[in-house]
Structure 1
């Protein structure tokens, strides 16, 4: 495994212990199912400034790690979330059938943790707040859930030979002149396509439009979770999923 820079000194979740644990960008339970052909990984900054290469790191994206969490978080509650999600996503067994409200929340929580970690590849694009991250750890039988003001969408992909994540962030200014954060993350591997969105408070009226766009395009909102079950249809082509994701990102940034 290879790692890039350590952008923080304290764990991004507990904020107490040192970030001394190597967290995989792509979890170990997914790596056997992911392509590893690329000899290097490009980490690209794409936010309010022009697109530029942030880092060119030797090794495929499936081999990269980053030190932003402590061992106690990584091996404790984060591991339990990974295990719960892997039961439904390895190897993509959930997609193609109905998923319950509980499963929606498990997958949405995993996508949230994934987003909160990978956005630290470029600290300028970190848009999850400390409050968002510090609310994720749990103890006992309780289970984390994503922040209530985030939206997470999921679809089934008909065919896809890639494992790719894309993250961008932007600052939005309210009428009162206060700055708040927006983020957009696209995750797709195998037959799974996920989109994670955070809109600033004054702009959350835009969620209704994103919900409608996703509904028409064949994506389902899994957070906030839907009552009952979701049934995935035949699925989208990877090309169409990328087009819809690009349209959603553009719509979000124009709000």
Structure 2
């Protein structure tokens, strides 16, 4: 039975509702109306061999929805977060000259983290956002640990869009032991644990957001080291600080994609 991504409840306790990756109110801020769909080539690595398939997906994330969020979350804390974030987000989308306080930056980072968690569920499994990350964001109202958010100014893209890169990293194996009645012990195999993570980019008008998240400190640190666009973006989380918008330099869409795609490949990791 389908459970809510954030509170974990299911029917009949709660009713699942359609959740947009980006709230419909943001459509009024997007500079261009996007085509309804496009064809995307997806690379799968199920057995280690890349297989390319094509699929039709919405061109704009304003059209992407999923039914994995309950009405109580959708109309409750998530709606409150959207309302608070839009006070900061809308002027940035318009390219206005504003001062973003540290409190504003924290709200924007929380909104970006929530949006990336929802966006990650749009794709097929594996879902790379740990349950404890989702419950932390819902209960604490801030991004969880092992999650970093950056923001940058960009040239307006013809449509609001996201890019989502999933990663799985093999961790050191644990021996599987078997013991006989006489006490003799021997190894019968190795249990191989995995660490999952993702990098998601969100681009709307003049703003680009980069979210790196993982279920382990090791993979998160590797993602941050690989991606950290220190010369082109400002870190929103952790440790949000005040900054002036727009930020220099102004990135092109290709530069934004180039930063996000650094996640493919990471040494000792594979992508799906």
**Aligned equivalents of 1:152, 1:47: Cα separation in 2:** 26
Task: Please list, as runs of the form range in 1=range in 2, the aligned pairs for 1:1-255 lying within 5 A after superposition.
Answer: 9-18=2-11, 20-34=16-30, 35-42=32-39, 45-46=42-43, 48-49=45-46, 50=50, 52-53=52-53, 55-56=55-56, 61-91=61-91, 92=93, 96-138=97-139, 144-176=141-173, 177-199=192-214, 200-206=216-222, 209-210=225-226, 213-216=228-231, 218-226=232-240, 228-231=241-244, 232-247=247-262, 249-250=263-264, 252=266
User: Cα distance, 1:224 vs. partner?
Assistant: 0.5
Compared with structure 1, are the counterparts of its residues 238 and 96 closer, same or farther at alpha carbon in structure 2 (3 Å cutoff)? Answer: farther
Task: Tell me if structure 2 keeps the 8 A contact 1:95–1:192.
Answer: no
- Once the two structures are superposed, what CA deviation does each residue of 1:121-177 show, in whole Å capped at 9, x if it has no partner? 223141001111122224xxxx51111111111101133322111112121111243
Moved more, 16-25 or 111-120: 16-25
**Structure 2 unmatched runs, 5+:** 174-191
Structure 1 or 2: more strand by fraction: 2
- 1:95·1:156 contact (CA, 8 Å) conserved in 2? no
Query: What is the aligned length?
Result: 240
- Does the residue aligned with 1:21 lie in a helix, a strand or coil? strand
The CA deviation at 1:115 is 1.2
Partner of 1:29: helix, strand, or coil? helix
Q: Is the CA contact (8 Å cut-off) linking 1:47 and 1:125 kept in structure 2?
A: no
RMSD: 2.7
Question: Structure 2 length as normaliser, TM-score?
Answer: 0.77
Distance 2:41 2:97 in 1: 32
Offset of residue 16 of structure 1: 1.1
Whole-angstrom distance in 2 between the partners of 1:147 and 1:54 = 34
